Structure 1
Amino acid sequence: MDTRQLRSLVAIATHGTFARAAEAVHLTPSAVSQQIQALEQELGVLLFERSSRPPRLTTQGSQCLDMAREMLRLAEDTKAGLRGDRISGTLMLGSVRSSALNLLPAAIVQMRHRYPALKTNLQVSLSAALIADVASGRLDAAVVAEHLGMPPSLRWSPFLREPLWLIAPHGTPADSIDSLMARMPFIRFRSPVPLANLIDTEISRMGIVTNDVAEIDTIGSIVTCVRQGMGISVVPHVALQGAEDEALLRLPFGRPQVVRRIGIVERIAAPRGEVIARLHEVLTQVCGEYGVARDVNAQNPDGGSTA
């Protein structure tokens, strides 16, 4: 087994056919086919179901693909470390798909400009799945909200502490939050993420019965609906960065105003710890006044979740 065989395997899975994979790795299709056959003989398993068109990975092939990607990334990182280039290689990064994605692309672009040798591979999923992938090593780090039940092998470092706002369409007369939420149509954030639970818990604690007119699973879509006059809602500060959002009525949500925290989860003995620390620094800068400096002694959260 060598890295050339593994690169061909990954290329086939990425591009779908042996011919396209051959172009990607600059070989002939027959050479790629010979590499895969040699790999199959060495491992003693079939990696592809060749009776299907295009060829489909077998169960063992899927397992081997995960191994190949990890081995290639490890080889790349090892070469970078031997060269003394610590901020290089590929950072396998995950993120929740809520408003955290408003911040992460800008940070990734800044990291790319600062460290041209560093590559990022971003995967978007739910918090629980991302935390499991970090714990298993499939991801180097992930951007998630503060989360209960963090495995002891992981460290969560917040980079954002932001307030939540009740927002209403332009021209809505200013009133108390209780009055607005009791009489105006309410757009509820409905998603299996900590932020949705945080909002629902505070509404229940305040004893307010809302007039729900919609349940939407993305914060960006909720803000758009409020802009167009559909109703009111509760969103985090990071969701209100556009010039068109300045006209919305904003009132502090909760008594006292509720805040949520977003951070980076990584393994305590993270092999890409230096890169992750630099990313945390950039994210803190992107967050502006609500950015949270990294605490090098931080461990996983041990109290009630605020996000």
Structure 2
Amino acid sequence: MGLRDFHPAVLATALATFVSFLGIGVVDPILPSIAREMGASHFMVMFLFTSYLLVMGLANLVAGALATRFGSKNTMPLGIATVAVFAGACAFVSTIESLSILRGVWGLGNALFTTTALAIIVGVAGGCSEGAITLYEAALGFGIACGPLLGGLLGAQSWRLPFAGTSILMIITFGFVIATVSEPDTERQQGIRDVVGTFRHTGVFTNAVIGMLYTFGFFTLLAYTPLIIGLGTVQIGLVFFAWGLFEIVGSAILSPRLNQRFGMPEATSGALVVGVGLVVLLGRLSEFRFSTPDPATNH
């Protein structure tokens, strides 16, 4: 199935998904530059991720309910516009506290978008829903991969440019969405109680806890590594771009095949074990790197 076979609204939403998830990692390569220019500690710089993800996580609990009440067609553009405005505002502030607050509101906009994007894609795709979901997942993965790359390339000139670039891309995306997206068939209205009630299901609760712990570990590495890795802005962007590409390979190619061959619980457990082993190995390698004296200092 080619891109021409998809409804324009599916393509516009996929583009919005790409740009939205690009914004998660765009700040990663510029963290050392922000810390230097603003005189911020590592702890304070971490709030650029903490505020974004914390607000986004909490807002997701209510964003779905808002979408069923006011309509996905209204909720998604509101989220895109919020991201565009507050990503652009990040390019003009001069304190780490202001930047953290703006990133938090940016996370709110991303929550309003992500809770409605998939519903719109499936709702307008008709008989092509499976292909549309694959397109959505590909856009999400490429967004996560390309965010650090964009941040590295633009951030090499100024740490403000990645924020401005993300804002411009979101403004363009907003125009496409407004012009093409219509209201899909929606579910009944839901409230926060309905969302929280799903955690009574053992499977939902277990997967939520696993996802939370995995995401905690993932963003611990994603957020803190640039501050200690000792690479330039572009180099950091390339490192995490490669990380994102391998994530796409794992989720889109390896995961379906492993699930089919071994079963989802077994494949998931195996992936977690391998992930733990790789993190331990990276920790040992980095410990060796930082503990080995520089030969130049011995002369």
| TM tier, smaller | under 0.3
TM-score by length of 1: 0.21
Larger of the two Rg values belongs to structure: 1
- More relative contact order in 1 or in 2 (CA 8 Å, sep 6+)? 2
TM-score by length of 2: 0.21
Which structure's residues are more often strand, by fraction?
A: 1
